Amino acid sequence: MPAKDLGNKYVCFKCSTKFYDMKKPDPLCPKCGADQRESPALKPASEGRRGRLSSIPKVIEPIEPEEPAAESEEEELAEFDDEDAEAAPGEEEEDI
């Protein structure tokens, strides 16, 4: 008898028995009765686990260069000088 007449060949996922489904609609193992459609190998992989080829490439954005620190120090010094200039006329009035 050729194998094509026996239907699809299966290896039971529970007891590892090799068998043909005899072209029946339900591929049941003749030894343990496990339905081969419930095999864990046939279930889709979970979403949290990916293969190396299915990973999504990550886009790395360039970092913008920061302004030189010298400019910010000059601004701070200018603000400090402005505070001294404002405080000076007030002090003269108090002395008089």
Q: Is the pTM of this model over 0.95?
A: no
Identity (one letter) of the amino acid at 14? K
- Specify the pLDDT at position 42: 79
How does pLDDT run across 18-70, given as a tens digit for each residue? 999 999 999 999 999 999 999 888 777 665 565 666 667 778 888 887 766 55
Angle at 14 between CA 11 and CA 16, to 5 degrees: 35
Using the CB atoms, write b or e for 1-21: b if 16+ within 10 Å: eeeeeeeeebebbeeeeebeb
> Backbone dihedral region of 25: left (phi > 0), alpha (psi from -120 to 50 degrees) or beta?
alpha
